Amino acid sequence: MSTAPQQSASTEKTKKIASALLRYRVLAYATGIWLLVLTVEVVAKYIFGVENLPTWIAVVHGWVYLVYLILTVDLAIKVRWPALRTIGTLLAGTVPFLSFFVEHWRTTQVKRDFGV
């Protein structure tokens, strides 16, 4: 009996996890950057009283965050994260700078566990 089909299935799963991880990482950074931009806008508007700021920054962050949620759930399903880890990772896009740290921790964990 040959192990080639098992190796092929394992290689295919690893490729799917690697691509899901890459998508997650890109969106984690994009979400973090847009959240920082939004934070600067809110501080400028409400603390320093700056007028005529762009109104679309919150909209862009919202859409980027929505895609981040979808891609994070995709990765969580592929690597079978527990619910609390998934929820914590999803919420990381709502706290300035946190998405960068969580992205690093999750990437390290996925690479270690799946050899990606």
Return the pLDDT at 8. Answer: 73
Ordered alpha helix ranges (H), the chain: 4-46, 57-79, 83-91, 98-114
Q: How confident is the model at residue 78 (pLDDT cuts 50, 70, 90)?
A: very high
What residues make up the domain containing 63?
Answer: 27-114
pLDDT value at 69 more than 90 = yes
Let me know if residue 4 belongs to a domain: no
Structural domains in the chain (count): 1
Let me know if residue 7 belongs to a domain: no
**Average pLDDT estimate for 22-38:** 97
Let me know if residue 64 belongs to a domain: yes
**Average pLDDT estimate for 85-101:** 96
Return the pLDDT at 6. Answer: 66
pLDDT value at 43 more than 80 = yes
What's the pTM?
Answer: 0.89
Share of the chain above pLDDT 70, in %: 94
